[in-house]
């Protein structure tokens, strides 16, 4: 690869990191929107004209009248004033506007890089795939909101989990591509990669179950720790029929699974960090492990505090955002373990031979 191509790939990598940062902000804002009860304040989906907020009293009343016909107003917020409605409206409007902005931040530079011939052939389908997933995510967001506009004023936990999971899949793809472009190296899997693969799976499962905790509002029950209502295993975790529904619709079981998965993920992360000390990993990989255990520790403490304080908006939003950072840290550790830099790989080889 010549210097010009390397320069082009670096620019693409930086652009993907910017997209990851915007997506991280979007996940954070989505958490705040959910926790403030704002997600059902906009009852229509207008992909084009929806970027313009109400600017006159007449338009505000039109939006408010549409909301007053929704199940959430009728069953939860009856009597809400226009000023209170504006507060929840701005949260949802900001979330939708940032989502559209992310689409532009991704699509416009992609078209520019493609037109200039900077995108190597091996990246074309992955980048187009991310663009397609982004379009699907926009539809999934509205599909989720629709579930709360019919009878029950609450979005489906299944659709919320799908919406959040798809956002994290997009983040993972973009971040992994960015790492490969900014830190190119040959693929040399290390035995420690078995740990990072397990961590990646456990992190994904923990976040996925966490989405059901959010969707079922399961964080508002069993607000003690480490016990749940004075028990290690609470009563009623298998109270639904058929049995499989408990794992997705029973708040007690869902919170119990999230606790177990979170603590298990933390244990494996610290065990992997301890184990890597026995190997001749390069400095970058060791640094990635240090960052990983730090973020995982912060996330577990945030989760406990969020639970015991009955899910305050600030802590709940941070807990959702740090989940993205945990995922990014695991991906970074996996990349550094399996793609050591050329000079670091040679140094590690010398250390391994010395051992």
Opening angle at CA 210, ends 204 and 214, nearest 5: 145
More confident residue, 246 or 153: 246
Q: Closest Cα partner for 257 from 297, 216, 312, 298?
A: 216
Mean pLDDT value of segment 224-232:
93
DSSP E strands in 149-279: the ranges are none
CA distance 352 to 355: 5
CA distance 301 to 296: 9
- How high is the mean pLDDT of the chain? 92
Q: Which two three-digit tokens encode residue 162? A: 């799908």
Residue 236 has pLDDT above 60, yes or no: yes
Tokens 């320069």 — which residue?
Answer: 7
What is the pLDDT at residue 186? 77
Q: What distances in angstroms separate CA 125 from CA 130, 132, 297, 324, one per listed residue?
A: 9, 10, 37, 24
Tokens 């492990």 — which residue?
Answer: 289
Tally of CB atoms within 10 A around 182: 14
Tally of CB atoms within 10 A around 320: 24
CA distance 171 to 19: 8
CA distance 199 to 268: 7
The DSSP letter of residue 38 is -
Tokens 């830099």 — which residue?
Answer: 341
Residue boundaries of the structural domains of the chain: 1-183, 185-355
CA distance 154 to 76: 10
Q: What distances in angstroms separate CA 291 from CA 264, 273, 286, 298, one per listed residue?
A: 18, 10, 9, 11
CA distance 341 to 92: 43
Tokens 């908006």 — which residue?
Answer: 313
Mean pLDDT value of segment 24-42:
95
Tally of CB atoms within 10 A around 131: 16
pLDDT tens string 211-222: 999 999 999 999
Peptide bond into 226 cis (omega under 30): yes
> Does residue 310 come out as left (phi exceeding 0), alpha (psi in the -120 to 50 range) or beta?
left
pLDDT tens string 76-99: 999 999 999 999 999 999 999 999
Beta partners for 228? 231
The CATH number fitting domain 185-355, selected from 1.25.40, 1.20.1250, 2.60.90, 1.20.950:
1.20.950
Intra-chain end-to-end CA distance of the chain, in Å: 35
pTM for this predicted structure: 0.92
Q: Closest Cα partner for 178 from 10, 312, 2?
A: 10
Residue 346 has pLDDT above 70, yes or no: no
Question: Any idea which of 40-54, 76-90, 153-167 has the lowest mean pLDDT?
Answer: 40-54
């Amino acid at each position: 690869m010549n210097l010009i191509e390397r320069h082009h790939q670096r620019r693409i990598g930086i652009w993907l990191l910017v997209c990851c940062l915007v997506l991280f902000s979007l996940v954070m804002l989505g958490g705040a929107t959910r926790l403030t009860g704002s997600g059902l304040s906009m009852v229509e989906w207008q992909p084009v004209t929806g970027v313009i907020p109400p600017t006159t009293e007449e338009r505000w009343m039109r939006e408010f009248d549409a909301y007053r016909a929704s199940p959430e107003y009728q069953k939860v917020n009856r009597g809400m004033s226009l000023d209170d409605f504006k507060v929840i409206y701005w949260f949802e409007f900001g979330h939708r506007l940032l989502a559209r902005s992310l689409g532009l931040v991704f699509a416009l530079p992609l078209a520019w890089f493609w037109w200039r011939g900077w995108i190597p052939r091996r990246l074309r389908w992955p980048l187009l795939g991310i663009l397609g997933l982004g379009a699907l995510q926009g539809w999934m967001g509205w599909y989720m909101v629709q579930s709360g506009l019919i009878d029950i004023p609450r979005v489906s936990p299944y659709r919320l989990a799908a919406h959040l999971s798809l956002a994290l899949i997009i983040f993972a793809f973009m971040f992994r591509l960015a790492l490969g472009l900014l830190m190119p190296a040959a693929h040399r899997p290390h035995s420690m990669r078995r740990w990072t693969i397990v961590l990646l799976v456990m992190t994904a499962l923990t976040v996925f179950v966490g989405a059901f905790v959010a969707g079922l509002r399961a964080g508002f029950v069993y607000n003690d720790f480490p016990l749940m209502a004075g028990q290690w295993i609470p009563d009623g975790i298998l109270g639904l029929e058929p049995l499989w529904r408990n794992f997705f619709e029973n708040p007690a079981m869902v919170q119990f699974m999230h606790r177990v998965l979170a603590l298990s993920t933390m244990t494996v992360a610290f065990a992997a960090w301890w184990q890597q000390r026995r190997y001749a990993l390069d400095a970058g990989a060791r640094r990635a492990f240090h960052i990983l255990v730090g973020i995982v520790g912060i996330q577990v403490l945030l989760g406990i505090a969020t639970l015991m304080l009955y899910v305050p908006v600030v802590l709940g939003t941070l807990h959702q955002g740090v989940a993205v950072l945990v995922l990014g840290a695991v991906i970074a550790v996996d990349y550094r373990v399996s793609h050591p830099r050329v000079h670091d790989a040679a140094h590690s080889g010398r250390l391994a031979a010395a051992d």
